[in-house]
Amino acid sequence: MTLLTRDDLIRALRELVVELKTGGEPVGLRVVGGAAIALRHFDRHTTADLDALHVRPGTDDAVTEAANRVADRRGWDHGWLNFNVTNTGSEPLYGRPTAWETVYDDGIIVIQVAGADTLLAMKLRANRPGRDTDDIRKLLAICEINSVEGADVFYSECYPGESLPDRAWTMVSSILQTQPLTKPELVDPVDLS
């Protein structure tokens, strides 16, 4: 399907909120990955989908059904919002507390996006060349990590007992050698009301 822009994501999340309200049950939705970056942090142009963690409170099935209704109206494929990331073990659960920023809260439906440090940890874990490199560069700048040793310490804090993967080490070293880190311009706050 066609890649999603930030505007696509915002419009779809607004429709999702309406759908979830109709259900009447409390829902806590947490967004990670490229969609979280595009919604809260910096301009990323497009993303393939919206990666979400397991819903707490509420159920993944209820959110999936609501997301499918949004997809049908917009002519998108089902799966634009998915929980695939929860199967990868990439969420930093056991280290430093993860930061979440609330972008919508009406007392029943709460939508949060991952903070920059959580996203950096997950991107360093994935370290897919071409796909994650520029995100890592910008998130390093936001998190003010200026050395590969600093990145390694940060990674171990997020994933206790683990070191920065070899390829991520190479990528961070190259990023820091090729050009000074520059903080990207923050995107405007999201209004999902």
Partner 1 sequence: MTDAGALLRAARSSRRLTQEQLADRAGVDQARVSRSESGRESPRFDTVDRLLAGAGYRLYAAPTRRDDVATTAGRIRQSLEQGDRHAALRHLIQLSDDLLAEKGLVRGVLTVSPPGTTGEKVWDAALAAVTAWRLNEDQIPLPAWVSEPSRTLAPPRVLQIDEADPVPTPADVPVEFGQHGVLAWADTFSSV
- Give the CB-side neighbour count of residue 174, counting CA atoms within 13 A: 12
Which of the ranges 20-28, 112-120, 125-133, 144-152 carries the binding residues for partner 1, by CB under 8 A?
125-133
Contact call for residues 7 and 188 (beta carbons, < 8 A):
no
> Cis peptide leading into 57, omega within 30 of 0?
yes
Q: How many CB atoms lie within 10 A of CB 113?
A: 26
Phi/psi region, residue 166 (left: phi>0; alpha: psi -120 to 50; beta: rest), is alpha
Q: How many CB atoms lie within 10 A of CB 133?
A: 15
By the rule CB under 8 A, 46 interacts with partner 1: yes
Which of 134, 150, 165, 187: binder of partner 1 (CB under 8 A)?
134
Which of the ranges 19-27, 55-63, 142-150, 163-171 carries the binding residues for partner 1, by CB under 8 A?
163-171
Q: Would you give the DSSP letter of residue 59?
A: -
By the rule CB under 8 A, 156 interacts with partner 1: no
Which of 126, 153, 181, 187: binder of partner 1 (CB under 8 A)?
126
Which of the ranges 20-28, 44-52, 106-114, 149-157 carries the binding residues for partner 1, by CB under 8 A?
44-52
What is the spatial distance between Cα 190 and Cα 193, in angstroms, rounded to a whole number?
9
Structural tokens at position 39: 């919604």
By the rule CB under 8 A, 129 interacts with partner 1: yes
Binding mask 64-83 for partner 1 (x = CB under 8 A): -----------xxx-x----
Residues that bind partner 1 (CB under 8 A): 1-3, 33, 45-48, 51, 75-77, 79, 84-85, 88, 90, 122, 125-126, 128-131, 133-134, 137, 167, 170-171, 174-175, 178
